[in-house]
């Protein structure tokens, strides 16, 4: 082995020597190696290098490393906030009502579609078919078209002889057009025959994504239908369906059949609100109906969240100070990465907290059944505002009590000064970084010369008073 190879080997052995003694011992080994290279044999030089390994082992045993980690590790803090966000997301996804409310609307383009349901909610969000027929016969000033669907469970018989029960909806032929639902792999249908539109999940799980079945005729119960295409899983405004049976005519439905009613607004009508009440004269008096724009059924939760978070951001200056304190310019011995890391840590805390707040607000709003369709919106507004305000206040307060170098929690608070000397000397609390990076002085009373907390950075000459300050930066 060459002299350079031996020197590199000694450098590698030096990594096992304690940091405070490493440079001194490597320099000594280099000098001895240079002296031996002039007269010693390869075996003697190799024996000397093995002796360096024994020296490093002895030094490690005599000077055990006592790492001092900063209290309240930044990684631990972000990990805990992230774990809370993941837990809230998992709980939200396990609640069907939350999952349905947070799914993306597939009828976003149908800006004039309205879901109509009785205001008393005694029979659920359905109306009798007789009411739909009476409205269709009557001249309408608000709606220009109606569509209905009735969920049911039917057995579908495939050509292979298998039978599968599916949650289907018998619907009028214009339901998907009125909702603005996109149809994938659409097939040319035969006039006068019912058409079956399968959901994406049912198409993959029950039919194995077999494209050869598209356009074929199958038995659904006692009815022959043609498979006409694939629609998204979220096509139904209420509940989840495996498919739609589009009927060319609903005249054979009994008047007492409960159906979900969808109306299309007249182009001359513009609504200022996404939800309102409709009063319709009846034989027993006026009847109230809840009307809600379908694109707002699932999009409002995101708008409500952003609105509440914005209100919390506006209220934040009134509840806490936005200043993080006075910090001197970056010292020469402090790398720029440490200065940037401080702000990245603050952004990471807020970035992990906001998804947790979003999921938690949906759990609080849609976790329990409510009598009014507006109640979940109010719950989401209040919970999002309160949790966002609390999270922002906590993030700022936590940031003020951390070392700007190692991001560890400052410890050992001590009272300094006297209350009677506020205008002559410092009076407040002094906290210290366990890694020896500096002191934080927090005044008890804001004065003209000491209005906010102030950070005092310590240079490396103070490192002898602390145990392994470098270890405190290893977060």
Q: What pLDDT, in 10s, does the model give residues 97-140?
A: 787 677 655 665 567 888 888 887 666 678 889 888 888 888 87
pLDDT of residue 333: 59
| pLDDT value at residue 120 | 77
What pLDDT does residue 330 have?
A: 58
Can you give the pLDDT at residue 305? 92
Q: Residue 358: its pLDDT value, please?
A: 94
pLDDT at 85: 94
pTM of the entire predicted model: 0.55
pLDDT confidence of residue 473: 42
Please identify every stretch of the chain with a pLDDT value under 50, giving residue numbers as ranges.
67-71, 469-475
Identify which of 431, 374, 380 has the alpha carbon closest to the alpha carbon of residue 408.
Answer: 431
pLDDT of residue 441: 83
Which pLDDT score, from 0 to 100, does residue 109 have? 57
- For residue 471, the model assigns a pLDDT of 46
């Amino acid at each position: 082995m060459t002299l350079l190879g031996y020197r590199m080997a000694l450098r590698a052995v030096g990594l096992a020597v304690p940091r405070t003694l490493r440079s001194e011992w490597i320099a000594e080994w280099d000098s001895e190696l240079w002296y031996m290279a002039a007269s010693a044999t390869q075996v003697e030089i190799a024996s000397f290098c093995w002796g360096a390994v024994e020296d490093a082992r002895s030094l490690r045993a005599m000077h055990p490393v006592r790492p001092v980690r900063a209290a309240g590790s930044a990684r631990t803090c972000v990990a805990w906030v992230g774990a809370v966000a993941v837990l809230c997301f998992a709980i939200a996804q396990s609640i069907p009502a939350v999952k349905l409310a947070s799914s993306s609307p597939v009828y976003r383009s149908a800006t004039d579609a309205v879901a109509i349901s009785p205001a008393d909610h005694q029979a659920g969000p359905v109306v009798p078919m007789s009411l739909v027929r009476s409205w269709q016969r009557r001249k309408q000033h608000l709606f220009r078209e109606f569509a209905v669907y009735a969920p049911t469970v039917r057995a579908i018989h495939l050509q292979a002889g298998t039978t599968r029960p599916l949650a289907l909806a018998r619907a009028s032929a214009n339901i998907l057009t009125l909702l603005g639902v996109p149809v994938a792999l659409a097939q040319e249908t035969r006039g006068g025959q019912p058409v079956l539109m399968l959901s994406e999940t049912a198409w993959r799980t029950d039919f194995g994504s077999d494209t050869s079945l598209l356009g074929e005729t199958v038995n659904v119960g006692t009815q022959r239908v043609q498979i006409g295409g694939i629609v998204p899983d979220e096509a139904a405004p209420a509940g989840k369906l495996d498919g739609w049976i589009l009927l060319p005519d609903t005249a054979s439905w009994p008047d007492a059949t409960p159906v979900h009613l969808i109306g299309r607004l007249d182009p001359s009508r513009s609504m200022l609100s996404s939800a309102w009440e409709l009063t319709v004269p009846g034989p027993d008096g006026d009847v109230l109906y809840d009307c809600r724009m379908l694109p707002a059924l699932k999009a409002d939760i995101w708008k409500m969240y952003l609105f509440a978070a914005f209100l919390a951001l506006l209220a934040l200056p009134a509840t806490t100070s936005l200043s993080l304190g006075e910090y001197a310019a970056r010292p020469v011995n402090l790398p720029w990465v440490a200065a940037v890391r401080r702000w990245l840590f603050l952004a990471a805390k807020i970035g992990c907290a906001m998804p947790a707040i979003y999921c938690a607000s949906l759990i609080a709003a849609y976790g329990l059944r409510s009598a009014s369709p507006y109640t979940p919106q109010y719950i989401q507004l209040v919970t999002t505002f309160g949790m966002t305000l609390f999270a922002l206040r906590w993030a700022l307060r936590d940031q003020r009590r951390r070392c700007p170098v190692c991001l560890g929690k400052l410890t050992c608070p001590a009272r300094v000064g006297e209350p009677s000397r506020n205008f002559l000397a410092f009076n407040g609390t002094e906290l210290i970084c366990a890694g020896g990076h500096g002191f934080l002085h927090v005044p008890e009373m804001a004065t003209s010369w000491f209005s906010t907390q102030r950070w005092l950075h310590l240079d490396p000459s103070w490192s002898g008073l602390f145990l392994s300050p470098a270890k405190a930066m290893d977060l």
